[in-house]
Structure 1
Amino acid sequence: MRVLVTGATGFVGRRLVPALLDAGHDVVALVRDASRYTGPEEVEIVEGDLLDSATLAPAMDGVEAAYYLVHSMRSGGDFESRDRLAARSFVEAADAAGVQRVVYLGGLGEERDRLSPHLRSRREVEHLLASGSFELTTLRAAIIVGAGSASFDMVQQLAKRLPVMVTPQWVETKCQPIAIDDVVAYLVGVLDHPETAGETYEIGGPDVLTYHEMLQRVGAHLGHSPRIVPVPVLTPRLSSYWIGLVTDVDTDVARPLIEGLKNPVVVTDDRIRDIVSVDETSFDEAIERALHEESERTTVPIESKTEAP
């Protein structure tokens, strides 16, 4: 099957592309700058911008299925209007090209729980994609655990750097994290099951934890467990400033992440497990994999340390 991946250079997309190739699909990667793409050689690279529907036709040519993996990750400005415009441009181009299926990775969370602005925007994108002529499969996930995940990076850095942590009340919110490998397995798997077309599924790992528990588990893997003291007075804005001070996470990224942490994100409908077979990864195993991958990325080869004579 000829498959288009938007967001091919992102945290999920760069792992999804080789998995689709391994599954026997022909993959087209939509990127804004082809010179910066470092994916597999077998991938067809097409430049385009989701904010400009006129640039999307070449990427959609002959495509049978497409993955929509694009979201604004910063606060402020008009991120909602950008998300809206990108989704509408994608729908227009996909319908014009006769794309048959689209797979969208959205976020868990019940609308009755007053979703954060970014989770609301993800849900709006989901509704906009559903307006297309193609059949939409939506997978909703909570925190995705892996090297390069903004949410997991924030948790990891907090657990690593602070022996004592004064935190907002959101640390007691329940979450069902999922390993990046499992997310990719579900994303690839739904294409092999025509019955998933037009359906929405919730995906999660085997562990349901509070953020408090997640911080302590991550801390244990790093060699210590932070002491956590929840207080009710830290607003999302203050919390984002605090995270910006003690971690490398940009304040503009931290704020939308924190705003989303007030919403419980737990799977309530696990039908997908009966359709797509995935060997679920425990939270602890997902942590180990993420830390190992990060260690491999940051290790400097011995040869590179040798100075020239």
Structure 2
Amino acid sequence: MPYTVLVTGATGFVGSHLARQLVEDGHDVRAMTRHPDGYDGPGKAVGADVADVDSLRTALEGVDVAYYLVHALESKDFERMDAAAAHNFARAAAENGVRQIVYLGGLGDDDGRLSAHLRSRREVEKLLGETGVPVTVLRAAVVIGHGGISWEITRQLVDHLPVMITPKWTKTRTQPIALPDVIRYLVGVLDNPDAMGRVFEIGGPDVLRYVDMLKRAAKVQRKSFPSVNVPLLTPHLSSGWLALVTDVNYATARNLVASMTNEVVVHDDAIRHVVPGDPIGYDDAVRLALEDRAREQSGSTR
């Protein structure tokens, strides 16, 4: 059954792929962007800003399901901005009778030690549901796919460094997930009665330390990647170092590094009963990301 679906963040890493898949599945897709005149992706461009509740009311009119893929990670004041945006979106969705909001959040145990980034993601989950619209939350760790910030950091470190400096946070365990699996889960929970009002943890089959992710990404590319342990390199210094050797800005690097001190692994695989299928392994996810990058650089399309 086709639905009218709004995708926020439609020009972003996950949103652009999600919008394409939803269009291919036959849904009426509204791609929400602050700059609709410049949008040339899948779906119909709808101009709106999460900071402007009136624009959200217009964008959400007649929408069945809304995907919320917005965050302000590059801002120093991202926690306040994300909270205000989620509050606005929840109000506008309720006023328009939206049947479901789907939110892509972050993995991590609620043990009182979450980073500001992950703590903000939890607050957004609650705020999106405060007006009564059923919310489906998918919590993920690092998404492996061409164009994703966390993956780009991994790829660029492997490409740019002859030796990897490994601060303490690179020993933290994470459970990366391939971009196609994220899209499969996002699409699979669409108006799915078994997903309404629930929180799911999503991840690939491999639990790895960040340093292992780097080494295995290098191995896939048939590169050697020796490392030197530097436990005294603080998150603050690590952020500056990442901003220096990759093209990620300092504010984003700082927020990501702070989150890398939190172990982010799946403890509940309930999503696999709601959206069946075997997830892609890390090495294959790396190959797919590299193939997509090569395809983009050659100017070809799928």
Shift, 1:114, TM fit: 0.8
**In structure 1, distance between residues paired with 2:246 and 2:299:** 23
Calculate the TM-score normalised by the size of structure 2. 0.95
Equivalence for 1:307:
none
Equivalence for 1:68:
68
| Runs of 4+ residues deviating >3 angstroms | none
SS of equivalent residue, structure 2 residue 11: coil
Shift, 1:299, TM fit: 2.6
Shift, 1:280, TM fit: 1.3
Equivalence for 1:276:
275
Shift, 1:113, TM fit: 5.5
Question: Gapped runs of 5+ residues in structure 1?
Answer: 302-309
Shift, 1:285, TM fit: 0.7
**In structure 2, distance between residues paired with 1:246 and 1:5:** 33
Equivalence for 1:46:
46
Equivalence for 2:78:
79
**In structure 2, distance between residues paired with 1:116 and 1:177:** 18
Equivalence for 1:92:
91
Q: Does 1:29 align with 2:28?
A: no
**In structure 2, distance between residues paired with 1:84 and 1:145:** 27
**One-letter identity of the residue aligned with 2:207:** V
Q: Residues 300 and 198 (structure 1 numbering): CA distance in 2 closer, same or farther, change over 3 Å?
A: closer
- For residues 150-197 of structure 1, the C-alpha deviation after alignment (integer angstroms, 9 at most, x for no partner) is 001001111222121222111111110000100000000011521210
**One-letter identity of the residue aligned with 2:116:** P
**In structure 1, distance between residues paired with 2:180 and 2:213:** 19
Equivalence for 2:254:
255
Equivalence for 2:18:
16
**In structure 1, distance between residues paired with 2:37 and 2:232:** 47
**In structure 1, distance between residues paired with 2:198 and 2:224:** 41
SS of equivalent residue, structure 2 residue 66: strand
> Identity over the aligned pairs, expressed in percent?
49
Q: Please, which moves more after superposition, 22-31 or 45-54? A: 22-31
**In structure 2, distance between residues paired with 1:71 and 1:192:** 23
Equivalence for 2:122:
123
Calculate the TM-score normalised by the size of structure 1. 0.93
Q: Please, which moves more after superposition, 256-265 or 15-24? A: 15-24
Question: Gapped runs of 5+ residues in structure 2?
Answer: none
Equivalence for 1:237:
236
**In structure 1, distance between residues paired with 2:277 and 2:213:** 22
After superposition, the CA RMSD in angstroms is: 1.4
Equivalence for 1:174:
173
**In structure 1, distance between residues paired with 2:144 and 2:161:** 20
Equivalence for 2:285:
286
Q: Does 1:56 align with 2:53?
A: no
Shift, 1:75, TM fit: 4.9
SS of equivalent residue, structure 2 residue 189: helix
Q: Residues 233 and 113 (structure 1 numbering): CA distance in 2 closer, same or farther, change over 3 Å?
A: farther
**In structure 1, distance between residues paired with 2:265 and 2:38:** 36
SS of equivalent residue, structure 1 residue 140: strand
Q: State whether residues 50 and 56 of structure 2, in contact with CA within 8 Å, keep that contact through their aligned partners in structure 1.
A: yes
Q: Which has the larger radius of gyration?
A: 1
